[in-house]
Amino acid sequence: MGEIFESLSGVFSCMLMIAIGFFLTHRKWFEQSSAKLFSKVAMGLTIPLYMITSMMKSYTKEDLLQLGVVVVVPFVTMLITFTLGVISSYLFRIPDYRRGAFRNMFFVANTAFIGFPVNVALFGDKALPYAVMYYLVQSLLFWTIGAYNMSLDGPKMVAAGLAEDGGSAEMPRILSMRTVKNVLTPPLIGAIIAIIFIIFDIKLPTFIKGSFSSLGGMTTPLAMLFIGISIYLVNLRSIRLTYDIVILILARFIIAPAVIVLVTSFIDVPDLMRKVFIIEAAMPVMTQCSIAARAYKADYGYVSIGTAVTTVMAIITIPTFFLLLHYGVL
């Protein structure tokens, strides 16, 4: 029994911080703006700094050179999952003005803001480079084929009179400077800086390393408090679990990780990499889906519901997947 509790210590720590976020929101310490602030601080500051310090501490130049093959697994699995999303959007007759949003929620997960701290809490700093590679591939695919599919919803929403502010909807080019800007997020830039420092053996001064480490250490608490706030603010009674939302729940927590399990049964990868990829694939819908939905005049409310429901469910699915991995079920 003691071994079980020890193995679950990282999960219990995350659940406690989520509970604190929930309680403090109930006590009116936090509100919607707090969640947005925590997300902004984590994605723009603490995660990049955490990338730099933890990767420089845990990895050598030789380790990084072996990471090149890592991108193959997430690239293949995400393309498979996206294809399944496209097929499902027709098979289950998703309204044409929601198909792009549905396909994006089907295949992209909250791999950075929630995925990074969860993986580190469960597996330690050695998990981070694998999570970064997964996030890199997802960012490339989301801001290319994902954004393009989302943009196809916009004109249909406008034509149906369902767009919030009317007007015309933008049709982006898959390859553009905007795509490059969207892919080069602060967490990815932090990882690139860390890789450069490791390759050229650049050492940070002690006071900078200490400051970066302290700020980076805020990442997990911010992410878990964010989940607690989000859970409290979701009015579950007002959400109708329509068949397409149920399909998205299955996609996020069963289909996406199952594809990872299937592909890694044919491609030999390190055990830690496999576990990290499964956890990353089983994260809730990525928050950037909502940002893209607003930008392309897609169904923002629909995406918000998918994001909220899967985020709430993560408090059950995260410990469940960890237990399944820890005891060799997956």
pLDDT tens-digit series, residues 70-107: 788 999 999 999 999 999 999 999 999 999 999 999 99
pTM, full prediction: 0.83
pLDDT at 285: 93
The three-class DSSP label of residue 207 is: helix
pLDDT at 181: 73
pLDDT at 156: 84
pLDDT tens-digit series, residues 148-158: 888 888 888 87
Give the residue carrying structure tokens 């697994």. Answer: 73
Q: Give the chain's domains with CATH numbers.
A: 2-326 (1.20.1530)
Integer Cα distance of 48 and 43 in angstroms? 7
Above 70 in pLDDT, residue 163? Answer: no
pLDDT at 68: 65
Average pLDDT over residues 228-242: 78
Integer Cα distance of 108 and 137 in angstroms? 10
Q: Are 132 and 282 in contact (CB under 8 A)?
A: no
The three-class DSSP label of residue 285 is: strand
What is the phi/psi pair of residue 277, to 5°?
-65, -40
Share of the chain above pLDDT 70, in %: 89
**In whole numbers, what is the pLDDT of the chain averaged over residues?**
86
Higher pLDDT, 79 or 51: 79
Above 80 in pLDDT, residue 199? Answer: yes
CB atoms closer than 10 angstroms to residue 158: 17
Integer Cα distance of 308 and 269 in angstroms? 33
